[in-house]
């Protein structure tokens, strides 16, 4: 079979391979240790030869030795239609990296050792992702993708906990958006499950997510994290909002306390709002007075008695203009 592709990469592979050979010989003890482990694994593998379901195959995949792998060229002899998605997607790059052996290369990096299947063409002898639980699918992907801040918290994410796995958002062979192998483009991808947040982005004032100016993933990490709402940083610290609204970051000589303690969401609705400036209240004085009255909040001083709310003192930010903090004025009259 002819596949006129990867020519450059196959050439590159030679020097790369040479580097790996040197690397491998330097790390001899680790490799030697693994071989004896593999022998033990082989006998265990024999014992479970009758196992056929994808779950069981997935479980035993980590124990298979190199001889159980046939390489992607063999797979493609029968599955020619998979060549395009494999070659044009990112995962052909796994062929370049030989450090961890055939279990981490090509088709079999995901589908597990394929010798038994390639010889019999029996679909029950290969890992079919449709036969795996969401968690098990994600675990297979995480073998390679669990490193780095972006993905390391997936197993404790709200998505994983609610049975949403990698293949709900990504498709290896049938991606509709090539970049990041997404099943759908944002924000439709997210709306397909989060219909409840959609109306906020159609409000008169909203972050322009539907218009493509910013994405859900600018603020949320779909792969999870330590922070509530899968936010990329805390609403309290607001590093999140400062990514774009740098002028609000300060530090200011005179900080407006809630911007630091409760964060931007104390006053703004992050998705969208019926009110200008994404404010939580339709009139700014109502917003301010939630805190600046005698009774509600001891931390915030009540407005002075001369602030007659029937008159000009309604428009608080006319005078207290530097509401996010000021370097010159205690009362935020000037920036």
Which residues from 270-299 bind ligand HEC, rule CB under 6 A? 270-271, 277-279, 284-285, 287-292, 299
Burial class (CB in 10 A: 0-12, 13-18, 19+), 32: exposed
Tokens 């040197």, located at residue? 22
Backbone angles phi, psi at 199, to 5 degrees: -55, -35
Closest separation in Å from C-beta 7 to ligand HEC? 18
| Bridge partner list, 206 | 272
Q: What is the dihedral of CA 225, 230, 235, 237, to 10 degrees?
A: 20
329 binds ligand HEC (CB under 6 A): no
Smallest separation (angstroms) from ligand HEC to the CB of 113:
8
- Least separation in angstroms between CB 14 and ligand HEC: 19
Per-residue contact string for residues 128-167; x = within reach of ligand HEC by CB under 6 A: xxx-------x-xxxxxx----xx--x---xx--x-x-xx
**Looking at beta carbons only, is 48 or 192 nearer to ligand HEC?**
192
Instruction: Decide: is 13 part of the binding site for ligand HEC (CB under 6 A).
Output: no
- 303-322 residues near ligand HEC, rule: CB under 6 A: 303-304, 307, 312-320
The CA angle 203-250-148, to the nearest 5 degrees, is: 75
The pair of structure tokens assigned to 12 is 């590159």
| Per CB under 6 A, 125 contacts ligand HEC | no
Question: What's the CA gap between 13 and 30, in Å, rounded?
Answer: 23
Q: Does 61 bind ligand HEC (CB under 6 A)?
A: no
Phi-psi region of 181 (alpha: psi -120 to 50; beta: other; left: phi over 0): left
CB contact set of 323 (below 8 Å; sequence gap of 6+): 256, 316, 317, 332
Number of residues lying near ligand HEC (CB under 6 A): 132
Assess contact for 233 and 242: CB atoms under 8 A.
no
Residues of this chain, 190-249, that bind ligand HEC according to CB under 6 A: 190, 192-194, 197, 201, 207-209, 213-214, 216-220, 222-223, 229-231, 235, 238, 240-241, 243-245, 248
Q: Interface with ligand HEC includes 54 (CB under 6 A)?
A: no
Q: Is 78 in the site for ligand HEC (CB under 6 A)?
A: yes
CB of 295 to ligand HEC, least distance (A): 13
Q: Which of 68, 116, 256, 272 binds ligand HEC (CB under 6 A)?
A: 256
């Amino acid at each position: 079979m002819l596949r006129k592709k990867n020519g450059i990469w196959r050439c590159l592979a030679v020097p790369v391979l040479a580097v790996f050979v040197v690397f491998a010989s330097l790390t001899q003890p680790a490799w030697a240790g693994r071989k004896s482990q593999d022998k033990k694994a082989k006998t265990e593998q024999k014992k479970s030869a009758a196992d056929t379901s994808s779950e069981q195959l997935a479980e035993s995949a980590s124990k298979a030795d190199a001889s159980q792998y046939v390489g992607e060229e063999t797979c493609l002899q029968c599955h020619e239609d998979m060549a395009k998605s494999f070659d044009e997607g990112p995962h052909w790059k796994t062929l370049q990296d030989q450090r961890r052996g055939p279990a981490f290369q090509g088709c079999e990096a995901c589908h597990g050792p394929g010798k038994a299947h390639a010889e019999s063409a029996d679909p029950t002898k290969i890992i079919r992702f449709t036969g795996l639980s969401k968690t098990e699918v994600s675990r297979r992907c995480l073998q390679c993708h669990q490193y780095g801040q972006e993905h390391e918290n997936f197993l404790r994410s709200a998505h994983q906990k609610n049975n949403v796995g990698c293949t709900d958002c990504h498709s290896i062979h049938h991606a509709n958006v090539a970049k990041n192998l997404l099943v759908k483009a944002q924000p439709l991808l997210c709306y397909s499950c989060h219909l409840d947040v959609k109306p906020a982005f159609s409000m008169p004032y909203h972050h322009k997510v539907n218009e493509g100016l910013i994405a859900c993933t600018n603020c949320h990490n779909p792969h999870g994290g330590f922070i509530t709402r899968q936010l990329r940083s805390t609403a309290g610290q607001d590093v999140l909002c400062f990514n774009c609204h740098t002028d609000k970051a300060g530090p200011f000589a005179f900080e407006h306390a809630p911007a630091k303690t409760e964060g931007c969401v104390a006053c703004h609705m992050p998705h969208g709002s019926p009110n200008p400036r994404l404010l939580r209240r339709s009139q700014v004085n109502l917003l301010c007075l939630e805190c600046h009255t005698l009774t509600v909040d001891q931390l915030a001083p009540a407005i002075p008695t001369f602030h007659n709310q029937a008159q000009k003192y309604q428009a608080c930010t006319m005078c207290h203009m530097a509401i996010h903090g000021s370097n010159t004025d205690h009362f935020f009259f000037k920036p």
